[in-house]
Chain A
């Protein structure tokens, strides 16, 4: 211990003696470690924050996977019930769905995110209410038994000032009085820590809670996420096998809904965000990429510091030789040098925490307003601090070990005799420095190419035609279902509001739609095409939207053939459907499908129009088959009012909300924004990737400049005498500058070649995150290389100029 203190004391003294080196190295490390801390904090908040549940290792998620469909499918209530009742591998199996919930108070209503759950939900998770109770078994199925809810600790504190008397009190939930029976423990978020759920209601009131309306007993209606707890001793594969047997039986008994469908069991320890379809994959993909990127930045910073330490090792050769000569063991000196480098890394880590705080603010500022309240608790809490500490120590060892080993291998006699200024560099040390620089340039080039690709992708995302005209287009979500309206009341409200909004000055047109293009929610339903026999495994389920008259005119999507929906397309008339161009081309290639029949579910519809293909899920998607159903024939209680305005959108918005309140003050509008703002949401992945890659690419470039400058400066210093000789032999200023620049370029070129190969190899990993940008874009590769060459020349120029000032007299006097 006393040796450690002695080493530490000496390390502090050494670092204090060279404040310039300490500052530059500390800043390099702070940027690298800070970037890692920030991205780790984000990763932790999204994927790793422990759930406030009992023994999460035994919790699993059960997905329904259709052949040819997505891997994270939800399940129907009958399927859930069969899994629950026919399997013996779970001590409990619960189902739930996420739903926006209206909480009314006085003349205002607020939408919060809620979950409708089976009665055993809390017991499966092993969570008790902090106040009151959770749900009773009899509240687990639609009945009059329980107009009850459990609220979150956050809502309890935020809205009710942590008043314990709230338990037992009635809240107006979706227009009906609902009794608060319990409050969850602090920090409980359900099964995804990043999603802020404020209210849980049991299946007893599911009809009131789920805005799209559910038919609990229809097996094809897949709307539930299933979470289970394995019985002690049961493994994941045993559970999977058991559910597979049940799935096979269900497929035989219910071929219409369950053919080619199987249950997949995934452990919580494998997947902390299992309940949002596909979200885990996307989040994991993006965050893995970001962690790799900041890892690269840290490696670049490490190579910088390692290179500087190698140079310092040369200047400290004599000191180390003296220590070795008087009997210090090599291990002791390595330990002392490592103490210095780890101390330096810890200083960098401490400063990195500040960088991380700024970076976290920046990351949160990039977040668009989401329909779903995502709560990213990014902060410097214990796990993040431990991560930073670990990264700092590993970093210190990483950049300090090789220089320490090199420095403790001097040839004693020459080292003791030589003057410090003339210390020669051993070939291996020089090679190591050059190898480090090559690695640094290669990493920087990879990040630069990445930055270029993602900035190009961002540019593409901002110029991609979304299939509608966002200029002057507003939208507001309105759910009459939340207020308990039945279909006829809902239709009356929709029509009345539409007429009032259309009369607002500045409104050019208005229409209802159940989905917002590029929104977070997406639905699909199977279709059938007469004369088309689906191939084995062909996925015939496509995205669709329910829309009202004037929808295409309002959002600015052209109808290519036929017509849009009319008010006369009602239940009393023929069922009609509009398809997009991609769907038309897939099933009626080269033909106009208007007038043809198409089955939606089990019902035949007549195609009356073909709309231009737009973007439905993501801006980067390929042309995707899609279709539209008339709301007049397919009623939906949760709709978005789309309004095209000619003038000031915000004044129209205010007038629209006023009109709504005059019709019913208890119906809340949610997700109210312009479609231009909405596109920010759609562009968020591209914006985030572009911004982060841009920042990290620039950071890598800066660190590389520092690294190249350092290596070339050192190289020039080492060659003072050579430059003197050359000058004596007649080299003019230009010759010396050329020599130094050539050296810089030779060193950089190796890195560029390695970087190009690495970038080409890694490009396929980022391809899926790019919007219309070729991951092997030759111009980008060449451009980034050219930038690096220019930066190298700039970084070499200062040492090169200094080299021209070498006085041959002085240089040659070194003997």
Chain B
């Protein structure tokens, strides 16, 4: 994250976003009238009980899904009506995903996993190599470059997943329960890593239902039955930026 942080500049804005799933003629309102903003350099947590719509919201933020209604702006550009390939391109350049289940590809080694988003971007090999190396160094996994995911511990896999999310220099990191598959020690380590990234300027939006990790974020958005029911700041965690 090299760009300077400007807390007041909005990176993502959702306006009256709704998401309705239709299954066997039954409408399920996963999200209702979501209005929220994420500013550049901000660390936001989305929390709530199971089934409250956290992951759906994250999917819409990550352009993996589209809202049924409402507006979605990324860097002031409307993105709710983009085609599948346009969304793929935006995802590739602007968004870094960190999943609960790591979602590394078993047939690819660490280097190739991290390199993957850059490959889809059509970046020259030399530049890819530099970026991958740098991202892996950032998460302290450069020494495991040739290893396959099955040869790594859960914590190490998640660090590689973080490197993969970082490597494309995205505008925002979206983390979906990043500690969900880790023991508490490794979970803490990953959260520390994300805090470090944030302190270095990264914009992060994390879904969690674990109150222990909410406090890592500057701001927590509480969801319940598809609605934002509360937003809270974390005053004890002052944002420290380079700027």
- A contact residues vs B (CB 8 Å cutoff): 721-722, 725-733, 735, 808-809, 812-815
| Binding site secondary structure of chain A | helix
Mark out the residues of chain B between 82 and 128 whose CB falls within 8 Å of any chain A CB in the assembled complex: 84-85, 88-89, 91-93, 97, 99-101, 103, 105-107, 116-117, 120-121
In the complex, are the beta carbons of B100 and A729 less than 8 A apart? no
Contact A728 to B64, CB < 8 A, known contacts A721-B103, A733-B84, A815-B101: yes
Is B69 an interface position by the 8 A CB rule?
no
In the complex, are the beta carbons of A730 and B121 less than 8 A apart? yes
Residues 38-70 of chain B: 1 if any A CB is under 8 Å from the residue's CB, otherwise 0? 000000000000000001000100101100000
In the complex, are the beta carbons of A726 and B116 less than 8 A apart? yes
Is B164 an interface position by the 8 A CB rule?
yes
Q: Which of A721, A728, A731 contacts B62 (CB 8 A)?
A: A728
A708 to B85, CA, bound (A): 28
In the complex, are the beta carbons of B120 and A730 less than 8 A apart? yes
Task: Write out the residue numbers on chain A whose beta carbons fall within 8 Å of the beta carbon of B85.
Answer: 732-733
Q: Which residue of B lies closest to A735 (CB)?
A: B120
In the complex, are the beta carbons of A732 and B116 less than 8 A apart? no
Shortest beta-carbon contacts, A-B, top 10:
A730-B92, A730-B120, A729-B117, A732-B85, A725-B103, A732-B88, A730-B91, A808-B64, A815-B101, A731-B120
In the complex, are the beta carbons of A727 and B103 less than 8 A apart? no
In the complex, are the beta carbons of A812 and B164 less than 8 A apart? no
Task: Write out the residue numbers on chain B whose beta carbons fall within 8 Å of the beta carbon of A727.
Answer: 88
Q: Nearest-CB distance from B84 to chain A (Å)?
A: 7
In the complex, are the beta carbons of A812 and B120 less than 8 A apart? no
In the complex, are the beta carbons of B89 and A730 less than 8 A apart? yes
The total number of A-B Cβ pairs within 8 Å is 53
A30 to B168, CA, bound (A): 54
In the complex, are the beta carbons of B101 and A730 less than 8 A apart? no
Task: Write out the residue numbers on chain B whose beta carbons fall within 8 Å of the beta carbon of A735.
Answer: 120
Task: Write out the residue numbers on chain B whose beta carbons fall within 8 Å of the beta carbon of A814.
Answer: 101
Having A727-B88, A730-B121, A732-B84, one finds 6 other A-B pairs with CB under 8 Å, namely A726-B116, A728-B103, A729-B91, A729-B164, A813-B55, A815-B101
Task: Write out the residue numbers on chain B whose beta carbons fall within 8 Å of the beta carbon of A722.
Answer: 105-107
A727 to B105, CA, bound (A): 12
Most chain A Cβ neighbours within 10 Å, of B55, B91, B121: B91
Contact A730 to B103, CB < 8 A, known contacts A809-B64, A809-B65: no
Q: Which of A721, A730, A809, A815 contacts B117 (CB 8 A)?
A: A730
In the complex, are the beta carbons of A812 and B103 less than 8 A apart? yes
Most chain B Cβ neighbours within 10 Å, of A730, A732, A814: A730
Task: Write out the residue numbers on chain A whose beta carbons fall within 8 Å of the beta carbon of B93.
Answer: 730
A808 to B58, CA, bound (A): 13
Q: Nearest-CB distance from A548 to chain B (Å)?
A: 79
Contact A815 to B100, CB < 8 A, known contacts A728-B62, A729-B92, A730-B89: yes
- 7 CB-based A-B contacts, threshold 8 Å: A725-B103, A726-B116, A730-B91, A730-B92, A730-B168, A731-B120, A733-B84
Q: Which residue of B lies closest to A727 (CB)?
A: B88
Q: Nearest-CB distance from A28 to chain B (Å)?
A: 29
Q: Which residue of B lies closest to A730 (CB)?
A: B92
A729 to B165, CA, bound (A): 8
Task: Write out the residue numbers on chain A whose beta carbons fall within 8 Å of the beta carbon of B92.
Answer: 729-730
Task: Write out the residue numbers on chain B whose beta carbons fall within 8 Å of the beta carbon of A812.
Answer: 64, 99, 103
